[in-house]
Structure 1
Amino acid sequence: MKITIIGGGPAGLYFALLAKKHDPAHDIQILEQNPRGATYGWGVVFSDVGLSFLKEADPDFFAEFTAGHECCDYMEIVHRDTRVQIHGNHFSRTARLAMLETLEQACLRVGVEIRHGERITDIDALARDADLLVGADGANSAVRLHYAEQFRPSFERRRNKFAWYGTRQRFHPVSLIFRETAAGVFIAHSYQYSPEFSTFLVEVDPETWLRAGFDRMSEEESSRACAEIFRADLGSNPLLTNRSHWFEANIVRNEHWYHGNVVLLGDALRTVHFSLGSGTRMAMQDAIALHHGIVDHPGDLTAAFQAFEAQRRRSSSSFQGAAARSLDWYETVAGKLHLDPVGFAYDYMRRTGQVSHEDLRRRDPHFTAAYEAQNTDEPLGRTA
């Protein structure tokens, strides 16, 4: 089969690797518009659940993929300068660039062709020339845009502002830091992803963003202002920039997942907000499901696509629903700051509606006991 993949992110690379390893006769090329080694953002994080799918799909590559990851088994929520630890949350973190390099090298070893700096000008021609065209070109997918009438995408822009920074301050646990200022509430999502660096994502509501004057600041001025707000957490370390412009979350959905011999994967298909830390996981699970569909239905792309969608549609909708509830929590967090640090952390852990009181008890009985001791009059399972 001749397979052309547009987009050299985790979805496209992992699908190419699985397909080529299963059938070396496949002629697979990946077309990526960015130059080799270029990536934006800092680290990526996986839960143990997310990594279990990769281990099952390809144990040998899993060992290579996770070598050198920074790992921890707890998270930390900082509210009113109090650090509340919640254990039983296993996270594996790595640099986004290192992740892509590992995937690329694995693809090249098995004979996948990767062409960087490729600007796509004729998607129809690529579809005609290939047996299978995979649109894995991210949230701003050109493939999805070109076939918008067939895929019928929808977009939901959320209100909070974000800026993605790095720092040399090492946050060993996945850390959520809440800081109240005269302008309003600022939130940092941070975690160490290498021996030297941590991701430091700053979130703020649009009213606070305007009151603080970020609409008049350059990228460097914004980074310095955010570093000052979180000075107690960052120590003497500045925030590092890499196209760290303010943006809003844009939630993407598609009514149809495939058209003819063209199929969407990863963020081109659906975006999952990073507050759940599942975007890369979802992209690679898409790759696994599409690969299984093609293996199970050789010579019948329509059946393969149907199997792919049947396997992924429900979990995709479930994750997006959970992400929407998570976003709601962050967008209304100012109304929760009256809670004591343990109650606040408990409310955070319950925000998606998918984690019960008993789930938390199994995960971290000491944290749950601390919450129960402070909320003796509340029925078990009720949020704070």
Structure 2
Amino acid sequence: MKINIVGGGPAGMYFAMLMKKQSPRHDIAIYEQNPADATYGWGVVFSDVALSFLKKADEAFYDKFTAGHERCDYMDVVHKGVHVQLRNNHFSRASRIDLLKVLQQECLSLGVKFHFGSRIDDIHTLPEADLIVAADGGNSAVRSQFAEHFKPKFEMRRNKFAWYGTRQLFHPVSLIFRETNDGIFIAHSYQYSKDLSTFLIEISPETWEKTGLDKMTDEESRQYCEKVFAPDLGSNTLMSNRSLWFSANIVSNENWTHQNIVLLGDALRTVHFSLGSGTRMAMQDAIALFESCRTHHSDIPAILDSFVRARKTSSADFQKAAALSLDWYESVEDKMHLDPVSFAYDYMRRTGRVSHEDLKERDPNFIERYEKINK
């Protein structure tokens, strides 16, 4: 098949890699608007469940990809300055740049053609292809071009976010809640390399305005947040990399395909950072599309129909859980009175997908502490 992929992120490259390994005869080109050595982003997180999908799809790539990962089998919820450990929550973390480099190298070695610095606003400018994969992110230009067919929906959520990095190493995935006179500050933090951690900060729009962060420069904002999280950062600073405040724009689409075009990854749907990596969903999309191609060969309508059927239910369930997680964060002020253990318990139950019995099986000591407090 001749395949054009718009977007050189994890979804597009992983699909290209799987297809080329299955048959070198596939003619695959990737069009990416950024240069090959773009260095945007910090780390990505995978649960053990997410990694199991990658291992099953391509064990050789899985071994190569996970070789340098930072791993931990517990997470931390920090509330009122108290660290509550939650055991048997397995996470594997890596640099987003390293993930992209590994995928690029793998694709190039297989003969995938790259066109970097190529923003595609009109797919009619592309060479003819049997299949066009729109993997160009949450602001997908392809999706916009055919919006009347895909019928996207956008939900701008309340809270504000800024991505930072730090040399303070958060070995477990750590959720830190700091209450100040101006509002509640939340940090989603985790070590993703030998010397760096992601530090994503979340605040309400009221806090954003009350503190004056809405008017501060990038540097002023960074310094302000450093002071808020000084107890957690030790002697380390926050590091900025295009760390501008933004709101979560939740994207979904009524239709996933149009003619020979299919949406993948964030172009198809976005999820909240607190529920796991969007990278995981993107790569699972790539696996499902690859499996559909392998089953139906060059029958494009059958491929696209099979892909939608394979991913529709799980995608909807994931977005539903993500919305509940967002609701929890946006109303966290109602939870701040809870003791640290009860707060962590409420956090773990926020989507309804984890039961009391699930937590008891994962971490009986934690549930024993919770039950003693809440007799």
TM-score, structure 1 as length reference: 0.97
Shift of 1:300: 1.0
Q: What is the aligned partner in structure 1 of residue 187 from structure 2?
A: 188
Give the aligned length.
375
On the 8 A contact 2:160/2:246 being kept in 1, the answer is: yes
On the 8 A contact 2:11/2:285 being kept in 1, the answer is: yes
Query: Aligned letter for 1:317?
Result: A
Q: What is the aligned partner in structure 2 of residue 212 from structure 1?
A: 211
Query: Aligned letter for 1:282?
Result: M
Shift of 1:106: 0.7
SS at match of 2:214: helix
Q: Structure 1: where are the runs of 5+ without partners?
A: 377-384
Q: What is the aligned partner in structure 2 of residue 119 from structure 1?
A: 119
Shift of 1:216: 1.4
Q: Deviations over 1:182-219 (max 9, x none)?
A: 10100000000000100000000000111111011001
Q: Could you tell me how far apart the structure 1 residues matched to 2:293 and 2:193 are? A: 36
Deviation >4 Å, runs of 4+:
none
Shift of 1:375: 1.0
Query: Aligned letter for 1:299?
Result: S
Q: What is the aligned partner in structure 2 of residue 154 from structure 1?
A: 153
Query: Aligned letter for 2:130?
Result: D
On the 8 A contact 2:76/2:175 being kept in 1, the answer is: yes
SS at match of 1:215: coil
Shift of 1:114: 1.3
Shift of 1:277: 1.4
On the 8 A contact 2:120/2:142 being kept in 1, the answer is: no
Q: Report whether the alignment pairs 1:26 with 2:26.
A: yes
SS at match of 1:133: strand
Matched-pair identity in %: 65
Q: Could you tell me how far apart the structure 2 residues matched to 1:8 and 1:76 are? A: 33
Q: What is the aligned partner in structure 1 of residue 38 from structure 2?
A: 38
SS at match of 1:46: strand
Q: What is the aligned partner in structure 2 of residue 136 from structure 1?
A: 135
Superposition pairs of residues 161-200 of structure 1, within 5 angstroms? 161-200=160-199
Query: Aligned letter for 1:122?
Result: D
On the 8 A contact 2:121/2:142 being kept in 1, the answer is: no
TM-score, structure 2 as length reference: 0.99
Shift of 1:37: 1.8
SS at match of 2:44: strand
Q: Could you tell me how far apart the structure 1 residues matched to 2:191 and 2:119 are? A: 34
Q: What is the aligned partner in structure 2 of residue 16 from structure 1?
A: 16
Query: Aligned letter for 1:13?
Result: M
Q: Deviations over 1:105-160 (max 9, x none)?
A: 1111111111211122431242x611111000000001100111110101000000
Query: Aligned letter for 1:229?
Result: V
SS at match of 2:313: helix
Q: Deviations over 1:53-96 (max 9, x none)?
A: 00000011100010100000000011011000000000000010
RMSD (Å) for aligned C-alpha atoms? 0.8
SS at match of 1:338: coil
